[in-house]
Amino acid sequence: MNQRTTLILVALISLAILCISPYLGLANNTAEIQHHILTQLRIPRILFTFLAGSGLALCGMVFQAMFHNPLATPFTLGVASGASLGAAIYVYLGLSFSLLGIDGGAFAAFAGALIAISFVYAVSRYQNGFSPETLLLTGVAISFFFSSLILFTQYLSNLTDSFEIMRWLMGSLTTVGYDEVLQLLPFVTLCTGVILWLSRELNLLMAGDDIALSRGVPVHTIRYVLFIVTSLCVGAIVALCGPIGFVGMMVPHICRLFVGADHRWLIPTTLLFGGSFLIVCDTIARLIIAPADIPVGVITTLLGGPFFLWLLIKSRAKLA
Amino acid sequence: MTTLLEVKNLGFSINNNPLLSDINFQLSAGEHLCILGPNGAGKSSLLKILMGILPASTGQITLNQSDLSLLPQKLRAQQLSYVPQSHKGLQFFSVEEFIKMARYAYHSALSDWQPEDKQAVERAISITHTEDFLHRKMDTLSGGEAQRVMIAAALCQQTPLLLLDEPTSFLDPRHQVEVHQLISDLNQKHNITIIEVSHDLNHAAQHSQHILALKNGKTQWYGNSPDLLNNTHLQALYDQDFVFTTHPQTGAKIALASEQL
């Protein structure tokens, strides 16, 4: 199957998922209630989920290309923990502001994400290169460090705030409405636009920094730009629905197996597949013990853990 | 001959630890310069500085009379191309994709593939005889094939100056001869100026015009290539005695590491 056919197929499947999933689990209600659920709850939730899934998958794809490692994603490198900490502190301090219609929590999460990524980058620069082991261990260390700071914040908070932080840390899409969709849209659009604009640079970054530089890519500038847009996007997603793990690792890796490493094909495929993948996970989370709604982060992490191990074992085998 | 590249008082250090200091040399258009020296002498670092992969700490590099450090990376890639010593992480690319990606410096985000791009790619492929495995994945190539693909990609950049970092070190004798022949052709038939880091001092002495010998980040010897082959110079460079003989076919002088009998 060539790249074009694969992309068209993924697009059709995504369209089907977008159309079918809102109607699942609607039964046992009057027509009026069904209509209300559909327009006021389901449709915004599906739209938001699609945006969040696309954004997470694209950011994961960018990290994998920049660090030349399928295990490097905003989550494994501690960027999502940084964003979570930022948002937790925002809740704890009881802050409430918005700028240009965007909630302050998103900015706090963005700041946290940027601090985390700068730290990872500084450590790997100091080490004079991105050895995969150093990179992942740095990410793990940062995740633990930020997680304990989040726990500390939670401990200091009152019961309501603490519950709010905890629920949101599980990564849930239960409470989103049209407002959240509109909040997230500019971030994901900006991030997608920049990534599309830089698709040739991403191809070369994937081949390694030395090759990218010798072909003429201003690697350091490009990396800063990508750090900022991915931090913005991950920050906004984490602030609005909590850290939903592993989407950014699984989706781009699977897409790469299907359409190859050329980002001109990989970007649209990852965008569509990431969005519909998260919708499927969320639909499972919604239906599996209905009427209870499991946080979707639980589902993605249940799938992602084994996937991570599989990648780890496979990459070891390849090195040996 | 016109001077293409001039390196003056070049130095490079990491954390105040000097890895290269006071490097001076000139390169005329059409020349083939070899950089020799023991492991860790700073040979690869020198190439990376020229390519803009590492930043020079001191000194000046001028290319065609203009300061190289002021040149944006994209324009630098139209003047210099580089074949790295090792290349990992290319498993996702097909040979053709990888070669075509080397036209980056001639494009912007919105520009289309032009006839001159097609021409450059076809020419690079035919010079390096890589037609037969264009559709294979990079990680299925043998060492010799991979090296030819790396050279093909560098040729797509259509640069007057080509930097090669130990292009034959990991190859078997047959493929060493093959890649050496390709480099000579590039230099002589296609008039590309070459800087090659090498450990093959006999090849360097016979096929390059000048040799820059580095030791501990400093210039140990710099001159006309055949003149390097005497025990004083080589002993000083490698801390190893050499004996000399002649090549039975060509009659060229050959240095061999001496053994304790």
Nearest Cα neighbor of A232 from A32, A16, A34, A79 is A79
Structure confidence by residue, pLDDT tens digits, B203-226: 999 989 999 999 999 999 999 998
The structure tokens listed for A310 are 């599989």
What does the pLDDT average to over B234-260? 89
Cα separation of A150 and A109, whole Å? 12
Q: Do B88 and A216 touch (CB under 8 A)?
A: no
Q: With b meaning 16 or more CB within 10 Å and e meaning fewer, what string describes B156-168?
A: bbbbbbbbbbbbb
Give the closest-approach CA distance of A3 to chain B in angstroms. Answer: 13
pLDDT band (50, 70, 90) for residue B6: very high
Is the distance from CB of A92 to CB of A161 less than 8 angstroms? yes
- Nearby residues of A99 by Cβ (< 8 Å), 6 or more positions away: A107
The pLDDT value recorded for residue A189 is 95
Residues of chain A with pLDDT under 50: 319-320
What does the pLDDT average to over B98-126? 90
Cα separation of B115 and B136, whole Å? 24
The pLDDT value recorded for residue B35 is 95
Residue that the structure tokens 């900022």 belong to: A228
Q: Do B73 and A216 touch (CB under 8 A)?
A: yes
Q: Do A216 and B78 touch (CB under 8 A)?
A: yes
The crossing angle, in degrees rounded to 10, of helices B115-128 and B143-156 is 150
Cα separation of A279 and A294, whole Å? 14
The full set of domains in chain A, from first to last, is: 49-319 (1.10.3470.10)
Chain A residues inside the 8 Å CB shell of B93: 206-207, 260-261
pLDDT band (50, 70, 90) for residue B95: very high
Chain B residues inside the 8 Å CB shell of A210: 48, 51, 53, 82, 84
Cα separation of B154 and A211, whole Å? 10
ipTM: 0.91
The pLDDT value recorded for residue A319 is 42
Is the distance from CB of A85 to CB of A144 less than 8 angstroms? no
Structure confidence by residue, pLDDT tens digits, A96-124: 776 666 677 778 888 888 898 888 878 77
Per-domain boundaries in chain B: 1-79+159-225, 88-157
The pLDDT value recorded for residue A128 is 57
Residue A298: how many other CB atoms lie within 10 Å: 17
Give the closest-approach CA distance of A120 to chain B in angstroms. Answer: 20
CATH 3.40.50.300 assigned to domain B1-79+159-225? The reply is yes
Nearest Cα neighbor of B214 from B34, B30, B6, B32 is B34
Share of chain B above pLDDT 90, in %: 59
Alpha helices of chain A — where are they, by DSSP H? 3-20, 31-36, 43-66, 79-92, 104-126, 132-156, 159-169, 178-197, 199-206, 209-215, 219-241, 247-259, 263-287, 296-319
Cα separation of A47 and A43, whole Å? 6
Q: Do A213 and B14 touch (CB under 8 A)?
A: no
Q: Do B74 and A218 touch (CB under 8 A)?
A: yes
Please count the residue pairs, one from chain A and one from chain B, whose beta carbons lie less than 8 angstroms apart: 79
Structure confidence by residue, pLDDT tens digits, B146-173: 999 999 999 999 999 999 999 988 888 8
The pLDDT value recorded for residue A102 is 65
pLDDT reading at B82 higher than 90 = yes
